[in-house]
Amino acid sequence: MAENTPDRVDMEKIVSLCRRRGIIFPSSEIYGGLSSCWDYGPLGVEIKRNVKEAWWRAMVQERDDVIGVDASILMHPRVWEASGHLEGFSDPLVECKGCHQRWRSDELEGDRCPSCGGELTEPRQFNMMFKTFMGPVEDDASVVYLRPETAQGMFVNFENVLNTTRKRLPFGIAQIGKAFRNEITTGNFIFRSREFELMEMEYFVKPGTDEEWFEYWLEERQNWYINLGIKKEHLRLREHETEELSHYSRRTVDINYLYPMGWAELEGVANRGDFDLSQHASFSGKEISYFDEGTSEHIVPYVVEPAVGVDRIVLAFLCEAYDEEPDKDDIRVVLRFHPDLAPVKVAVLPLSRREPLVEMAKDIYAGLRKCWSVAYDDAQSVGRRYRRQDETGTPLCVTVDFQSLEDNQVTIRERDSMNQIRVPVSELQNTLAAKLAGEDLFVLPPGGQVWLEAEKG
Ligand code: GAP
């Protein structure tokens, strides 16, 4: 993964911005933090929700061949026997005989401990599922696992969904939810943690059409990132070698992103064949199949699965959006988020804290909050307030000044160009909506006027 990435933002800058502006905090920080667990703060939770909503919109809402489910995290333990996770969901672990640190042997570059240079033990397989007990008795019969992937919730519900929706092949079942993996090594901020959120879609197809659908979903998923602002040259595909394929996979291609620490997996697209449905049919003793009306045969569909961690997407979008530019003697930090991802869409800034300006600004604020996530900021100079909003990616600011009291117009200032237009309050909501939907700011509403940053001196 390590590679020189001179044009990429430093991870420390992202971590520091997230900490400073309430995007992401270490978990249980007052107790010194809990390794590889993270809490999303007031702005972070909005970014995360926006990512999930954008995914759900593209994968479910705007399609007629995909529906959603929300399965429980705890599942019958037999699920993990059937899925192969009890047997095969493990990483090779080695331990340093000197300092006793543990490492994933497949990620080590030499054969010595990277921390102290000590000798390492032979690798042994370490199962990454978190184990707990269901009910008050802690014995073998009550062992359950925190799910390491959401996918199994879709497979065990295949018949339920088929029978209640009457979907015909090809169709998909999507889910967003928490997953847990007792990773041996974590790190790179939220890139690899032990508790994370997954977005997965199992697309069931007729055997023989799986390769075609695989290519389709690989393309769709790359376009999703590009449409939300990831540069094409920051994405790269990596085909898995046969020996590294997961136990269920016939083919896997990773969509890698150029993170600050180098190219690393953002999303995986896998061809799971009929592995999961066949395994569950055999372990549960229930028939799991699809009646093909064309051939009058029962078939077991193949599955193409795009799967991605929400936190990895959040990190990718943060890195992609982060920008710094000279600002007189200072530096302007801007998160150039796509409007759909920005945690706050509009900030309302009264020029002064004096009445009746405040009353007008608060009225505007109350009206806009019905449509979007909106901030109200009246502390310090307008220039500083603009910078604060830039740093967290707010696409548009609305400034209410003394002139507004006379002409009932306000100024909209755009984050990226810093250009401004003045619009009647009656046109404000429509103009903001058009701009947030990607329309050119300079298509002015009736009575509006343009101010370019350069002309203001
Ligand atoms: N159901 C298939 C599956 O789980 P995976 O490649 O193991 O496949 C899917 O995981 C995605 O989940 C990865 O591409 C990555 O985005 C994310 N992911 C995996 N492990 C993670 C971790 N420890 N922390 C954060 N995200 C992780």
Task: Tell me what pLDDT residue 55 has.
Answer: 98
Which residue puts its alpha carbon closest to atom 14 of ligand 1? Answer: 267
Q: Best substitution site from 186, 198, 239 to test ligand 1's pocket, by max atoms within 8 Å of Cβ?
A: 198
Q: Give the chain's radius of gyration (CA, Å).
A: 26
Average pLDDT along the chain, 457 residues, taken 10 residues at a time: 66 96 95 93 98 98 98 97 93 91 88 92 92 92 96 98 95 98 90 96 98 98 97 98 93 98 97 98 97 95 98 98 92 96 98 93 97 96 95 97 96 94 95 88 61 48
Contacts of 14-19 spanning 24+ positions with Cβ under 8 A: 14/189, 14/260, 14/315, 14/318, 14/319, 14/322, 15/189, 17/318, 17/322, 17/333, 17/335, 17/391, 18/44, 18/189, 18/318
Describe the strand order of the beta sheet including 195-205 as a list of residue ranges.
Answer: 66-68, 171-180, 195-205, 302-309, 262-273, 251-259, 235-239
Distance CA 66, CA 425 (A): 41
Beta 449-451 vs 420-424: how paired, if at all? Answer: antiparallel
Measured in angstroms, how far is the CA atom of residue 114 from the centroid of ligand 1? 25
Q: Concatenated DSSP letters for 225-288?
A: HHHTT--GGGEEEEEPPGGGS-TT-SEEEEEEEEETTEEEEEEEEEEEETHHHHHHHHHH----
Task: Tell me what pLDDT residue 328 has.
Answer: 85
Task: Tell me what pLDDT residue 5 has.
Answer: 64
Ligand 1 atom index nearest CA of 194:
23
Residues in contact with ligand 1 by the CB-under-6-Å rule are 149, 151, 181, 183, 192-193, 196, 198, 200, 265-268, 305, 307-309, 311-312
DSSP class of 433? H
Task: Tell me what pLDDT residue 6 has.
Answer: 62
> Using one digit for the tens of pLDDT, what is the confidence trace for 58-93?
999 999 999 999 999 999 999 999 999 999 888 889
Task: Tell me what pLDDT residue 441 has.
Answer: 53
- Provide the Cα torsion 153, 157, 162, 164; round to 10°: -110
- Could you identify the residue written with the tokens 């199962």? 127
Task: Tell me what pLDDT residue 185 has.
Answer: 82
pTM: 0.93
Measured in angstroms, how far is the CA atom of residue 167 from the centroid of ligand 1? 28
Distance CA 405, CA 151 (A): 56
Residue 371's SS3 state is: coil
